[in-house]
A and B are shown apart, each in its own frame.
Chain A
């Protein structure tokens, strides 16, 4: 008789990896975006202050 093996742990691991990596990537995108926004703002200020 074939008993279906309990592989639920692996399933959880799989979905955890998926959500984990996606979250890390989204955080990376967001932090890069905010850093660039900050840089943009300070550069624009410096550009204003620059003697023409």
Chain B
């Protein structure tokens, strides 16, 4: 009986810690809005460059949209991850967090939540802007699910790798080098699923990609959660 009370208390603490860490970042961002604005401006610039780089007519634009969106999200996402971790390191917050009597995994989940929130906020603003600029309706419910699942996989593994990258000599440059080759399944699946949804394909053709996204999310969040300790210990 007493044991059960202790375990519930521990899991309660865990969730509290996760939410506290996530809220710390979100609150800081609400005040300064540095990160989101940087990600947004960057995303818009990428879309602008694509407009001139690809010279798409109305028809090819339909098929290229999903690719352009995901390239944009991938690059802007890197920006967010880098900044989020760099801030921890530079201000010494990470050391402080490590001293606190919380499970290391809660740091991972807390950062995961805040990083995910930043990425999703950026995406939620980019989508309608892209819709307007290219006259394509992007408000298909399945699409939002795909974007969420894709971002979750990206941020899930990205948070772990960012924690490593920020501790190397080359810091910012290191993250994309580590992240991009291992996040390819997410990009392929997300682009294919998005593209399928935009073209109105049968669910059976899209479901394979959704399954890959789900599997990737579960597997890599589990791995990251298990090894996060090794990445932040002193």
Direct contact of A and B (CB under 8 A): no
Enumerate chain B interface residues (CB-CB to A < 8 A): none
Enumerate chain A interface residues (CB-CB to B < 8 A): none
